[in-house]
Amino acid sequence: MPRQPVQKIDRDGWRLTFRGHGPHEPLGDLALEIAAGRAGTCVRRSMHAETWLAKLGDTDIFVKILGPAGGWSRIKRLVRGGPSDHVAEIAAQLRRDGIDAPLPLLIGVHASTGRELIVTERVRGTVMPRFLREQRHDILRKRAVLRALGAEIAHLHGRGYIHGDLTPFNILLSKDEPLRFAFLDHERTRRTWLARLARPRLRNFVQLGRFALPGLTLTDRMRVWCSYAAERRSSRPELRRAVGMIRDRIARDSRKARESPKPVVARGEVGET
């Protein structure tokens, strides 16, 4: 895959890096309007980031605004670079390796505040939680998709990647045939030799398996694992280890929910069309 052309400009305290062909000026104008809170619709908000949906001509775009780093995260940004640069690079690597990921159209860093933004085009598809709700009565289709998902995660790991947050909300299923998956949210995704080890790979299954979703049974979860295990030649002890890690994570999440004075905010399904 040829590399995208890159153009950098400074505007209103932001260093903006455009990737791909124009129109650059309207995209930059809209991104800065959203960063200033004057445009777009906020579709997800967490402790560290906000995701906004807006329309540029006939195209829907997502703008993710990342808050300034503090403490250890600030040191990591100084050493490794910011998450927006990382997302642009890792998304390009994933696509070169045949793994679908939204490619940023624009990334930006604010010089004085340290805020960052990542702009991507809205990907056509359905996030996995909604797919599972809609396919409760088409059992054969659901089973085929879950087996395909296990094989795709095996492909991801086989290429040396560990996804930073492999939750069902960050997996997008194509609406058209042939069946394709797109993985979202790559601020912490890494290509690393640690993908050869069991524990880092199993963390992705912990992220995937700790959510109780309508339409997803324990047997369904096993279908994902069995398909993955067939591709990776994983063992039964590895499965038992994954189950134990998921149980520990669910117990930890439950304990935090009881102890926290703040209400738990549900994730939004931002990737779908």
Strand, helix or coil for residue 45: strand
Q: What is the pLDDT of residues 18-32, one digit of tens each?
A: 987 667 899 999 999
Q: What is the predicted pLDDT for the residue at 137?
A: 82
Q: What is the mean pLDDT of the chain?
A: 87
Q: Is pLDDT above 80 for 176?
A: no
Residues 6+ apart with CB under 8 A from 229: 150, 235, 238, 239
228/212: higher pLDDT: 228
Q: What is the predicted pLDDT for the residue at 264?
A: 41
Q: Are residues 77 and 100 in the same domain?
A: yes
Contact (CB, 8 A) for 130 and 77: no
User: Is there a domain that residue 1 lies in?
Assistant: no
CATH of the domain at 198: 1.10.510
When mean pLDDT is compared over 63-72, 171-180, 185-194, 264-273, the highest value belongs to: 185-194
User: Is there a domain that residue 267 lies in?
Assistant: no
Q: What is the predicted pLDDT for the residue at 72?
A: 62
User: Is there a domain that residue 40 lies in?
Assistant: yes
Contact (CB, 8 A) for 85 and 147: no
Residue 144 belongs to what domain range? 126-259
Number of domains in the chain: 2
Phi and psi at 229, nearest 5°, equal: -65, -35
Contact (CB, 8 A) for 167 and 128: no
Write down the pTM of the prediction: 0.86
